[in-house]
Amino acid sequence: MTDQQVQYNVGGMSCSFCAETMNEAYERTDGVTDVDVSLAHEELLVQYDDEAISEVEIKDVVRDLGYTIRDPDKQKRFEQQQQELEAGKRHLWISTVASIVSLLLMGVMVARNGWNVFAETDQQWMWYGSLALALVTMFWPGRYIIEKAYNSLKRGIFNQHVLLEAGAFAGLAGGLLGWFVYPNFPVVHFFVVSTFITTYHILSEYTSLVVRTRASRAVNDLMDLQPDTARRVTEDGDSEAQSASNSSSGERGDPRETVEDVPVDELEVGDQVRVKPGENVPIDGEVLSGESAVDESVATGESAPIDKEPGEEVIGGSVNETGALLVEVTASGEDAFLNQVAREIEEARAMKPGIVQLADRVLKYFVPGVLSIAALAFAFWAIVPAVSSGIGLGSGPQFRTGAYAALAALVLGYPCALGMATPLALIRGGGQAAKRGILMRSGDAFQIFPDVGTIVLDKTGTITKGEPAVNTVVGVSEHDEREVLRTAASAEVFSEHPLADAVLDRADARDVEFPDPEAFDSVTGKGVRATVDGAEVLVGKPGWL
């Protein structure tokens, strides 16, 4: 016996029922020793004995249930997810149109019956129309639901697809009973029910896919802060090759340096990379040479850039604002800051807080329970009035009432809201928090928030807007506030520093006009020196001034 482990990204999951369906299917598969399904990650992890079952058979279980296995490549997987979104949107449009037309038919019928919502029509064109709409909805956009329900039933699994189709086909059966068996039985009402609940299921699955896709994009947006490539600097002693490499890359570093563009994933601890002004720092490291202001708000929330000198650390994904830096890599791969953040977000999404675990336990018995209640409701009205008619407690089998009761149980017992609402709320919440720089370490954090009375923050940068702004301008001796602002803005016109932008924004907001300086020089890490109206002006750190 040799245990193997495989992991797949699965498409088509919408709620906890889907995860539970796959769990049950693999638990009943010979050769599978363990299985773990994550709705948040849309991932399946299977451990199996390769002498008893092959990997092809492992994949077939997923596909037989009606789900898909996505490509392991991230870009192709993203494209497949977009295709699923487009298909879901197309199914939703078709079913929505059918539901709207069905609703209009119902409105016409109610109006013709004096606004009696319980009355039925004898107009057969309405019967044909509502039946056609039900069949189109169930067997065109809803065909995949029927296939999933059939495949689940083959394995003895009762899930949301089985319950939905039980309700949809019960609606068809009820309408046909009224058409051919019981006079005055609600034909249109039953057919329309089949259309409505199928549309609702398609809407639920599409909503689930949109929520999970947006939550995943929050993590992708975070990882996009890291550039795909970095300029790695090496010294190999081959002066001609080094010179050619430097010339082709446009670098003006040490002529003994070789600078090459490499994927960030190939960087190792100890490598040296060069970062130009305006670029994102590709990876965590320590400054070897150069001085610059670096915007680290992605990690700290602080709006003001941090001045970096040799010996200080920089964080991957932060923005190098002013000077060129030579950085030595101190962390790579999964140890890098952005990768750690992304992993923690994913782990938080995958965790199941107590409320989700409770919902999962309920779902195991929910569908069999609803089907049993529907069957008992029909049996009650079919049997009890019949056997008790002789003693004055009934008047014979009440099949019509039994059909009503059974259909009501099937329709109102539709479970996707139960299996979807709680986990999707947590997934969506985690994604929204990530977009705002808030990392949720566990799903339980969402549950305890209503009970939080006090929040302690370690620094003000945590709650700033992330953009520096001038708060106060103080006049000096004979120079009033407007003159101080005019002089500072003029000196900062050609500066690329974010604090210079804040000064210029303040001047614009106060309608202060300022000329371009006659001379300008930027002193990296300290400030600017300019000539304004013939006078030398320094703007920068107090110590430098």
Per-residue pLDDT, averaged over 355-360, amounts to 63
Q: How far apart are CA 145 and CA 165, in angstroms?
A: 8
Per-residue confidence at 391, pLDDT binned at 50, 70, 90?
Answer: very low
Q: Does 407 lie in the same domain as 267?
A: no
Strand partners, 452: none
Q: How far apart are CA 157 and CA 163, in angstroms?
A: 11
Between these two residues, 210 and 98, which has the higher pLDDT value? 98
Enclosing domain of residue 311: 229-335
Q: Does 194 lie in the same domain as 151?
A: yes
Task: Judge whether 450 lies within some domain.
Answer: no
Query: What CATH number did the domain enclosing 513 receive?
Result: 3.40.1110.10
Q: Does 131 lie in the same domain as 236?
A: no
Of 72, 91, 117, the one marking the end of a domain is 72
pLDDT of residue 403: 78
Q: How far apart are CA 301 and CA 288, in angstroms?
A: 25
SS3 192: helix
Q: Does 355 lie in the same domain as 258?
A: no
Q: How far apart are CA 203 and CA 197, in angstroms?
A: 10
pLDDT in tens, 35-63: 988 876 788 889 999 888 999 999 999 99
pLDDT of residue 310: 92
The percent of residues in the chain predicted with pLDDT above 90, rounded, is 19
pLDDT of residue 469: 84
pLDDT of residue 500: 86
Per-residue confidence at 409, pLDDT binned at 50, 70, 90?
Answer: confident
17-31, 206-220, 325-339: least confidently modelled range: 206-220
162-176, 185-199, 263-277, 430-444: least confidently modelled range: 430-444
Q: Does 258 lie in the same domain as 370?
A: no
Of 385, 401, 425, the one marking the end of a domain is 425
Q: Does 289 lie in the same domain as 215?
A: no
Q: Does 208 lie in the same domain as 135?
A: yes
pLDDT at residue 450 greater than cutoff 50: yes
Task: Judge whether 154 lies within some domain.
Answer: yes
Fill in the DSSP letter of residue 335.
G
Task: Judge whether 475 lies within some domain.
Answer: no
pLDDT at residue 492 greater than cutoff 70: yes
115-124, 241-250, 429-438: least confidently modelled range: 241-250
Per-residue pLDDT, averaged over 506-531, amounts to 86
Of 407, 425, 443, the one marking the end of a domain is 425
pLDDT at residue 242 greater than cutoff 70: no
pLDDT of residue 250: 42
pLDDT of residue 247: 40
pLDDT of residue 199: 92
Per-residue pLDDT, averaged over 423-451, amounts to 69
Task: Judge whether 437 lies within some domain.
Answer: no
pLDDT in tens, 157-216: 888 888 889 889 988 988 888 888 877 778 888 899 899 989 988 988 888 787 777 666
pLDDT of residue 333: 80
pLDDT of residue 249: 38
pLDDT of residue 442: 60
171-185, 277-291, 390-404: least confidently modelled range: 390-404
pLDDT at residue 89 greater than cutoff 90: yes
Q: Does 210 lie in the same domain as 237?
A: no
Residue 329 burial by Cβ neighbours in a 10 Å radius (0-12, 13-18, 19+): buried
| Closest to 134 measured CA to CA, from 111, 103, 159 | 103
Between these two residues, 318 and 416, which has the higher pLDDT value? 318
Task: Judge whether 463 lies within some domain.
Answer: no
Per-residue pLDDT, averaged over 74-91, amounts to 86
Strand partners, 537: 530
Task: Judge whether 499 lies within some domain.
Answer: yes
pLDDT at residue 21 greater than cutoff 70: yes
Query: What CATH number did the domain enclosing 304 receive?
Result: 2.70.150.10
Query: What CATH number did the domain enclosing 55 receive?
Result: 3.30.70.100
pLDDT at residue 239 greater than cutoff 50: no
Q: Does 489 lie in the same domain as 389?
A: no
Q: If you average pLDDT over every residue of the chain, what do you get? A: 81
pLDDT of residue 384: 79
Q: Does 153 lie in the same domain as 61?
A: no
Per-residue pLDDT, averaged over 381-408, amounts to 71
At 437, the amino acid letter reads G
pLDDT of residue 142: 94
Between these two residues, 427 and 126, which has the higher pLDDT value? 126
Task: Judge whether 41 lies within some domain.
Answer: yes
Cβ-contact 515, 490 below 8 angstroms: yes
Active site residue 295: no
Q: Which residues are CB-neighbours of 161 under 8 A, at least 6 positions away? A: 66, 145, 148, 149, 152
pLDDT at residue 534 greater than cutoff 70: yes
Cβ-contact 193, 407 below 8 angstroms: yes
Cβ-contact 177, 186 below 8 angstroms: no
Task: Judge whether 474 lies within some domain.
Answer: no
Residue 402 burial by Cβ neighbours in a 10 Å radius (0-12, 13-18, 19+): buried
Domain count, the chain: 4
> Catalytic pick from 34, 458, 480, 516?
458
pTM: 0.65
Q: Does 387 lie in the same domain as 259?
A: no
